[in-house]
Structure 1
Amino acid sequence: MSPGPAAPVPYLVGTGSALPGDPVDNERLAGLIGASAAWIDDFTGTKTRHFASDLSTGAPTHKLADLCHEAAEAALADARLDASDIGFVVLGTATPDHLMPATVNLVADLLGIGHVPTYQLQSGCVGAVQALDLACRVLRDPETDRSGATGLVIGADICNKHLLLDRDFSRLAPGELVNYMLFGDGAGAVVVSREPLGHRTAIRRVLNRFVGLGQSPGQVIEWFGLADRDQGRPAAKEDYKAIENNVPRLAEEVVCELADDLGWDLDKIDYLLPPQLSGRMTGLIVDRIGVPATEVSCVDTTGNNGNALPFLQLGRLLPLLRDGDRALCAAVESSKWLKGGLALEKESIS
């Protein structure tokens, strides 16, 4: 029996981003939480971040759907496509505007996209990779017709919806205070297609693995309803020691596994997109991986905005790629320990 036709290659063809408000630097943040700007810089390595709320009042200024809409519009413009060209929409987020309706459907409505499949994945930083994994599966599926041959994939989070800005910070434990230094808000989007349009960057491999069997969560984000909101649990908590111990190792595993699967020489990788927990942690991760590639990072200026991060990195990467260039992207999620990544290659014009 002769083999069937090869599965279509998915391409990244456009990117876009949305960051709410003006950047909040360490001087301004230090004045809010009563810490030293130099200490924040030394401890996190993050210089600025963006908040979807008013820093002086704590009042929300942006909804997740609005940030997603802005990023999606930018990605479509970058790909030189219209919303009517999109055949499906995928959103990865840990902080939807509502439990129902799903934020992805609010975004589709804002874009004017109807009668298409929509998907929303609930996850942390690896959710962006999971969303791309799903999109690639849709594009490779022989049952997907031409109307579904181009999709929109979004990663976004408003992390600060879980953090009160108008409170007595002198009473906070260090483990809770650090969240105000690390996290930011934002959205990133990419357009994917079966056709080598726009940036014509082929997605050669997607890695998506749950690796936390039997392990305690490194991060817990609560969702409170009317019946359980007064039980005294913090909205967010992290085991930063476990994160510091595990994330560099898992990131190295991602990079090595992707390269090994494709037979790529790590010494000939052009760009590396490491996990973006904080500026300081990113440095530790890059040193651990030890690949002589150009680092593409954003967390030092955007803060840790969860599912937006891989797409913000891609937004910086794609304009840099030249024909034949290769890039590896790694993401690690500490909630119940997941690792994910992408192997990308810029195709030449034939």
Structure 2
Amino acid sequence: MAAPQIHIGSVATALPGPPIGNAELGAFFNASGMFEEWVDTFIGTRTRHLSVDLETGEARFTLADLAEEAGRAALKNAGVAPEDVDLVVMGTSMPDQLLPTTVNVVADRLGIEGVPSFQLQSGCTGAMQALDIAHQLMVAGRHRTVLVIGGDVCAKHVDVNLDFTKLAPDEMVNTVLFGDGAGAAVLTAEPVAGAPVLHRVLVRFVGRGRPPGQIVEWFGMGDRHENRSALHEDFKAIEEHVPVLGAEALEELLDGQGWQPDDVDYLMPPQLSVRMTDRIVRHLALPRAQEVSCVGDTGNTANALPFFQLELLLPRLVPGDRAVAVAIESSKWIKSGFVLEKVREHG
């Protein structure tokens, strides 16, 4: 018996509050002129959405809030009732709490019960890992209708009392690079007219012997008062390795599908920042693929990003179109991606 084709039945996303531009963020940090010029030159992000009220420091949205909104919309768009979902998988690097897991909070709110639920903690490839787990189990015939969620909320690491002008370079970048958001997709093994087929998902750990490119600390009761940075970035390592790993992931995805570079109509590249994405796209060198990017408007929303890209992509697809997504995680180096196609219908 042939393995079932896995379709992307719907995608939905959620953002917290209105977009915050560079001028507004710069004014908040008392660094308006220098700030805007620096962001435009080195980052390229125009706006981002934050779950934190910058005036008060109050968290207005949790990850569960955004994931519930995206998941509810994805189910509605797919015409799937909560009781029809037989698996929930979530990828995030910053859950609301260590326990209970955010995936179970979201499942509860959506009215999903009596099914397996998995939460994967990972950085920019967590959504890909969630899609991979779902895809493998569906191809094996274990599940038919799966809700896959990805998202991150950085509220735990936003300090509204920071003096931007006194920050180290890696800390400066983190104040503007990231945004908050969540996304969800309904995958189905049932034939769905017009829905693209998710052919393959790739996840490869490639960090053996490589120092981490990103470290995110988690403070508990014993060390919460220690004077150390919560976020550490090695941007030189990221700039060096991400384009190379992206090209490796792309080559493996194309080879596994039997596609050539000029077979690809759309590319969803890694979304670290506008400037970094531009470098990666040039390095991947797909001759005719149209780029699908959102990072300039959303900021780096980590595990929500593939869903924002899919939300932009799906309405554009016509029968025969092929697309490739690539995501790279620098925390301990993972390359990942997926291939999908809007298959021509016969008959």
TM-score (norm 2): 0.96
- Deviation at residue 199 of structure 1 after TM alignment: 4.7
The residue aligned with 1:255 is 250
Whole-Å separation in 2 of the counterparts to 1:251 and 1:163: 29
Post-superposition Cα deviations, 1:178-230, rounded to whole Å, max 9, x if no partner, equal 11110000001100010132652111111100001011000001111101222
Deviation string 1:38-70 (CA, Å, 9 cap, x unpaired) is 321121011100000101111100011010000
Q: 2:219: which partner in 1? A: 224
Within 2, Cα distance between the matches of 1:166 and 1:311? 32
1:113 paired to 2:112: yes
Query: Whole-Å Cα distance in 2 between the matches of residues 322 and 169 of structure 1?
Result: 46
**Structure 1 position 315 matched with structure 2 position 311:** yes
- Paired amino acid for 2:154: C
Following the alignment from structure 2 to structure 1, what is the Cα–Cα distance between the partners of residues 74 and 193? 11
Match of 2:158 in 1: 163
Partner of residue 321 from structure 2, selected from 325, 334, 348? 325
Query: Which of the residues 6, 22, 27 maps onto 2:23?
Result: 27
Q: 1:65 to 1:21 in 2, by over 3 A?
A: same
Query: CA separation in 1, counterparts of 2:55 and 2:274?
Result: 25
Q: Does residue 18 of structure 1 match 2:14? A: yes
**Higher mean displacement: 248-257 or 224-233:** 224-233
Letter in 2 for 1:299: V
Q: Distance in 2 between matches of 1:125 and 1:167?
A: 25
- Pairwise CA distance, 1:163: 2.3
Q: Secondary structure at the match of 1:36?
A: helix
| Secondary structure, aligned partner of 1:121 | strand
Aligned length in residues: 342
Q: Answer yes or no: is the 8 Å Cα contact 2:59–2:155 preserved in 1.
A: no
Question: Is this contact kept in 2: 1:14–1:198, CA < 8 A?
Answer: no
Separation in 2 of the partners of 1:306 and 1:198? 30
AA aligned opposite 1:141: A
1:156-195 alpha-carbon deviations (Å, 9 max, x no partner): 0012421212222222112101111100000011000101
Q: Deviations over 1:260-314 (max 9, x none)?
A: 1111011121000000000110100001111020000010000001100111111
Contact 2:91–2:119, Cα closer than 8 Å, also in 1? yes
TM-aligned CA deviation for residue 132 of structure 1: 0.2
Cα distance in 2 between the residues matched to 1:274 and 1:167:
32
Structure 1 contact 72–188 (Cα < 8 Å) conserved: yes
Q: Which amino acid is 2:158 matched to?
A: L
CA distance in 2, matches of 1:169, 1:297: 28
Could you tell me which runs of 5 or more consecutive residues in structure 2 were left unpaired when the two chains were aligned.
Answer: none
TM-score by length of 1: 0.95
Q: Any idea what the Cα deviations from partners look like across 1:113-163, whole Å, max 9, x if unmatched?
A: 111110000000101000000001121223x2xxx3101000000124212
- Counterpart of 1:181 in structure 2 is 176
Contact in 2 for aligned 1:199/1:319 (Cα 8 Å): no
Q: Which residue of 2 aligns with 1:124?
A: 123
The aligned counterpart of 2:197 is 202
Give the deviation of 1:26 after TM superposition.
0.8
Amino acid at match of 2:88: V
Give the aligned CA root-mean-square deviation in angstroms. 1.2
**Secondary structure at the counterpart of residue 310 of structure 1:** helix
Structure 2 Cα separation of the partners of residues 60 and 198 of structure 1: 41
SS state of the match for residue 216, structure 1? coil
The answer as to whether partners of 2:70 and 2:184 remain within 8 angstroms in 1 is: yes
Q: Shift of the alpha carbon at 1:91?
A: 0.5
Which of residues 216, 235, 239 in structure 1 aligns to 2:234?
A: 239
What residue identity is the alignment partner of 2:290? T
